Amino acid sequence: MDVDVSKEYAKSLDDQDELAAFRKEFYVQPETIYMDGNSLGLLSKRAEKSLLDVLDSWKQLGIGGWMQGKYPWYYLSEELGEKSAPLVGAKSEEVIVSGSTTTNLHQLVATFYQPVGKRNKIVADELNFPSDIYALQSQLKLHGLDPEEHLLQVSSPDGRQILEGDIIEAMTEEVALVVLPTVLYRSGQLLDIQRLTEEAHKRGILIGFDGCHSVGAIPHRFHEWGVDFAYWCNYKYVNNGPGGVAALFVHEQHFGKNPGLAGWFGSDKHSQFDMSHTFQPAKDAGAYQIGTPHMLSTAPLIGSLELFQEATIERVRKKSLHATRYMMDLINEELWSFGFAIGNPDEDHRRGGHVCLEHPEAARICKSLKDYGVVPDFRAPNVIRLAPVALYNTYVEVWETVQLLKRIMDEQLYLKYENERDVIA
């Protein structure tokens, strides 16, 4: 297929972009092309404002901010859970904004992993993000089980992707729980969540998903598909800021189940301040909160979710797919002779929000990109992740990124760097 590699064509795509106006909502630095929104999203002006609003309520009201002010803190986690629900296809009461990705995973596994007899194994995959694996290993040890024996990590045939058929084959009668990413963090492969959920449930197995690399870029239908639970960070595609408070989903069929890790903010809101030593959990996903909400790390999400309400996750996904397709076409046309390979799936229904570009010199190429104004992301051993984010990246930026890569390779600009990651890749 012929590919128009001209800058004029990229400009024409920007002229047709129905989300173009959202770019002005973000702090986009001049002379910089930010292609790392799949690691940390940019700050929006509305997120900044909502953070300052909550900070002001602390300044003006002190402890009164729990029940007064523009955004009373006491109910904010539930209110933001309701506003997050459309991103994942959930009912409003099935989502709560709380904790961090890993603490939420610990909470959910402590709740839903109940080994009985020979049904005592957990299925994960060998390409998952390390923190998830650490948490699963920890939970098995707390049950007195050996992770080497009881954590089954489905192998990848190529180091890039995990085959759904292999995952399903691993769902034996010894498995109690399956925990998988929605999107693999290196390659950007989008798993078939609906199929995997159906297959797990056929076998009497509970299943949960890590949505860190999909929520805010890809619409899901967790409730409709019957997903038992999910958890995700909000600082990538949802732009909640570094270390911003995460979120979790629990299907309503599990309401009334006591959380594995109880804490006072998981209490029913009406009885929480009775200070009883008998835990009375909330009747919805709010029960899975543990400690007092981190208000200053939650506040930016107020403004961020306003933008998603206006843009809609469906339009975000449409542009994301088109922009990653355009980037892949340019890479195939302009960079094919330099030893690059695209590691993410080609099909739209199997691709997340970033392009996985592979090269043996990936680390030093990333350093060169940064020095010339493009912010990429390196993942060992050989991956350059590039994420054209729908709300703030342009098609011209995609074009310029590929042209810079071509120049770096043509002029061998990467050779002056060591081919090893910095402290933070």
Question: What is the residue type of 330?
Answer: L
State the angle between helix axes of 101-112 and 130-142 in degrees (0 to 180), rounded to the nearest 10: 40
The answer to the question of whether 273 is labelled as a binding residue is: no
Q: Which residues contact 228 (CB under 8 A, 6 or more apart)?
A: 112, 197, 206, 207, 208, 250, 251, 254
Q: What span, in angstroms and rounded, lies between the C-alpha atoms of 313 and 303?
A: 15
The answer to the question of whether 225 is labelled as a binding residue is: no
Q: How many CA atoms lie within 13 A of 132 on its CB side?
A: 26
Tokens of 292: 């007092």
The answer to the question of whether 213 is labelled as a binding residue is: yes
3-state secondary structure 363-375: HHHHHHHHHCCEE
The answer to the question of whether 132 is labelled as a binding residue is: yes
Q: What span, in angstroms and rounded, lies between the C-alpha atoms of 63 and 411?
A: 60
The answer to the question of whether 270 is labelled as a binding residue is: no
The answer to the question of whether 30 is labelled as a binding residue is: no
Tokens of 343: 């590691």
The secondary element (H helix, E strand) that includes residue 55 is helix 45-61
Cis bond before residue 381 (omega within 30° of 0): yes
Q: Whose CA is closest to 235, among 211, 252, 258, 257?
A: 211
The answer to the question of whether 111 is labelled as a binding residue is: no
Q: Whose CA is closest to 83, among 74, 72, 73, 94?
A: 94
What are residue 124's DSSP bridge partners? 153
Would you say the C-alpha torsion 144, 146, 152, 158 has a positive or negative sign? positive
The answer to the question of whether 113 is labelled as a binding residue is: no
The answer to the question of whether 377 is labelled as a binding residue is: no
The answer to the question of whether 129 is labelled as a binding residue is: yes
The answer to the question of whether 410 is labelled as a binding residue is: no
Question: Is the distance from CB of 333 to CB of 3 less than 8 angstroms?
Answer: yes
Tokens of 21: 């106006």
**What is the distance, to the nearest Å, from the Cα of residue 53 to the centroid of all Cα atoms in its chain?**
26
Question: Is the distance from CB of 68 to CB of 189 less than 8 angstroms?
Answer: no
Beta strands in 140-198 (DSSP E): 151-154, 175-181
Would you say the C-alpha torsion 122, 123, 125, 129 has a positive or negative sign? negative
The b-or-e profile of 290-303 (16+ CB within 10 A means b, else e) is beebebebbbbbbb
Question: What is the residue type of 113?
Answer: Y
Q: Quick one: residue 62, left, alpha or beta (phi over 0 = left, psi -120 to 50 = alpha)?
A: left
Residue list, annotated binding site: 101-102, 129-132, 210, 213, 235, 264, 292
Residue list, annotated binding site for pyridoxal 5'-phosphate: 101-102, 129-132, 210, 213, 235, 264, 292
